Amino acid sequence: MTDSQQFTFKAETKQLLNILIHSLYKDREVFLRELLSNASDAINRLRFEMLTNANVLDADAELKIHVRADKDSRTVTIQDTGIGMTREEAIDHLGVIAQSGARKFLEAAKEKNVDASGMIGQFGVGFYSVFMVAEWVKVTSRSFHPDAEAVTWYATGDDAYQVSAGEMSERGTKIEIKLKEDAAEFAEEYRIKNIIHKHSDYIGFPIYVGDEKESVNKQTSLWRTSRNEITEDQYKDFYRQTTLDFEEPLSHIHFVTDAPVQLYALLYIPSKAERGVFALRKEDGLKLYSRNILIDDYNKDLLPEYLRFVQGVVDSEDLPLNVSRETVQSSGLMPKLKKVLTGQVIKELESMAKKDAEKYNSFWGEFGAYLKQGIAASPMDTENIQGLLRFKTNLNPETWSSLEEYVGRMKAEQKEIYFIVGEDSKSVLRSPHLDYFHAQGTEVLLLTDPMDSFMLMGLRKYKDFELKNVSQADVKIDEKEKEKAEAEKMPDTDFNTLIEKFKQVLGEQVADVRASSRLSQSVARLVDPDGTMNPEMQRVYKFLGKEYEVPKKILELNPSHAILKNLLKLENADLQTAIVEQIYDSALLVEGLHPDPSSIAPRVQRIIEAALQK
């Protein structure tokens, strides 16, 4: 071991320390939460190491955290019997902040102009929160390796820190803090106990304070505690402590099973899909424990990807831990755990939808796209998910409806569930494809979310009803409607002349131009020729960024429409051509297929000028 060495903090760390030392925070007590959390992590890491390695210093030592305070000298000492640190690890862990983490913290603190103490733990800067209250900090640590030597790390919050040989015979880490005068309250034992109860009650190792022989914290993991012993506030507090999400979760799921696998689980459904800047959880995934030993902080194999928004803890005593975390991942037990957990989450969502429609609609607004992704990516789960789907329709455009509710409103003779895909609700409601359905009072699902087209790849039917795109649906035209349309349409000779004009102007842009028997209010609509990719798959290719060209479609015209009747009477050939092009482009626009909508503007201006001149 070399003599004392001095190192200089990097720029981001200096900025961070400056904020923590010279700014005022509403809740400086979080420094103790962070240090206790680090101590717990160190003990957890040791427990995991000892599963496969018996050659550990002080192997029989109690796994514990001890906090001592001296109000006369204004000092607090936090000591754990965890994995400890070597000299190199002390420099790496304490002397070098993750630059990206520090930078993000600084940006968040600058942008949000809020109490930064609430976001300290999330960016890898938790240890440094001690400088909110400390004049100086001395960390002495000895690694679990039997031949390791102790090391001391010392800093005052200035530009530099010192590393030297330490004096410590036992394994673990001891943090000594000299408190600032205005932080003297934290040297009071009663204050320390209050903070532990508030922030660290469910740390899984005993926390002793002073000379007391009884631990201050409950230790029993909340997920292993009987549900009838836990209050709603405790559930909310635990969620807040583990996520730093200060929005209350929509729901929690707490259950214990013995078959087909043994597990304890406490899961939460957040209220928002987007993680706030202060969120503690940086990735998707659940915390995975075995016998209270943390195995994986972000396990992504416990739930399908479409439920990745779920937060929480899973603890199973059935997990094999004899080799490594990779063994856990490849264990045949994981699919069983996944099946049980998925079933519980789906069951909770079904219950929420049934008992509290308003809350479920809030959930759907945030996480609906995840479930749609599940339909597309997990066909085997479609049957479980489809009852949770919600849609707006042409007849109920402001409220969400389930497929069950839609089917319950269907007309007796209706054999299919109709849908329309488009860019947004307003544009699809004006779609010419809906002319017939509006006239008949037939309900149509409005699919305007980009994920809807992917969902339709897996959602082919619901119960006995096939899903059908209105643009491709076979419809029965009422005889009276046929007679009315026949009476109002332009003469066949005129219409044929008009069709030739459209073909001449549009050329290769369309596969064909023909009359429509379905249009009543609209001038024209675009339909796909037989054998081409359906509209929803066209959108999938578009969203995936595949080589995308506007597919050649058939342009169907309404022979009864006044615009087309008057178009033939125009003597200005250029204006007639511009209107033909505009009818086609408008049809593309309504379909959401126009490759360059802004290109329409100059032509619209020419048509307006011509109309005003007339």
Calculate Rg over the CA atoms of the chain: 34
Helix ranges (H only) for 113-254 are 189-199, 232-243
DSSP assignments along 1-41, one per residue: ----EEEE--HHHHHHHHHHHHS--S-TTHHHHHHHHHHHH
CA distance readout (Å), 138 to 182, 188, 208, 298: 20, 20, 20, 32
- Fold for the domain defined by 222-355: Ribosomal Protein S5; domain 2 (3.30.230)
Residue with the two structure tokens 């013995």: 258
Alpha-carbon distance 465 to 375, whole Å? 17
Q: Show Cβ contacts of residue 172 under 8 Å, excluding neighbours closer than 6 positions.
A: 42, 61, 79, 80, 81, 82, 83, 84, 141, 142
Alpha-carbon distance 14 to 27, whole Å? 22
Strand 445-447 and strand 392-393: the pairing is: antiparallel
- The class level of CATH for 5-209 reads alpha beta
Q: What is the signed CA dihedral for 582, 587, 589, 594, rounded to 10 degrees?
A: -80
Domain 360-469: which CATH number of 3.40.50.11260, 3.40.50.2300, 3.40.50.300, 3.30.70.1380:
3.40.50.11260
Q: Could you say which DSSP state residue 93 is in?
A: I
Phi then psi for 255, rounded to 5 degrees? -150, 160
Detail the DSSP E strand segments found in 149-306. Answer: 151-155, 160-165, 172-179, 207-209, 251-257, 263-269, 286-290, 293-299
Q: Determine the 3-state secondary structure of 210 from DSSP.
A: coil
Alpha-carbon distance 73 to 37, whole Å? 25
Six token digits for residue 271: 């209220």
Q: Show Cβ contacts of residue 346 under 8 Å, excluding neighbours closer than 6 positions.
A: 384, 385, 388
**Domains of the chain, residue spans:** 5-209, 222-355, 360-469, 479-613
**Averaged in consecutive runs of 10 residues, what is the pLDDT profile of the chain (614 residues)?**
76 71 66 88 88 91 96 97 93 63 51 46 61 94 96 90 95 97 96 87 89 88 90 90 86 92 94 78 86 78 95 86 50 86 97 96 96 93 95 95 96 92 85 90 93 91 94 77 79 94 94 90 90 71 65 90 91 92 92 85 92 80
- Fold for the domain defined by 479-613: Four Helix Bundle (Hemerythrin (Met), subunit A) (1.20.120)
**Based on the number of CB atoms within 10 Å of its own CB, is 60 exposed (0-12), middle (13-18) or buried (19 or more)?**
exposed
Whether residue 469 contacts residue 533, with contact meaning beta carbons closer than 8 Å, is answered with: no
Helix ranges (H only) for 202-332 are 232-243, 325-330
Output the pTM of the full model.
0.67
Q: Determine the 3-state secondary structure of 421 from DSSP.
A: strand
Whether residue 195 contacts residue 32, with contact meaning beta carbons closer than 8 Å, is answered with: yes
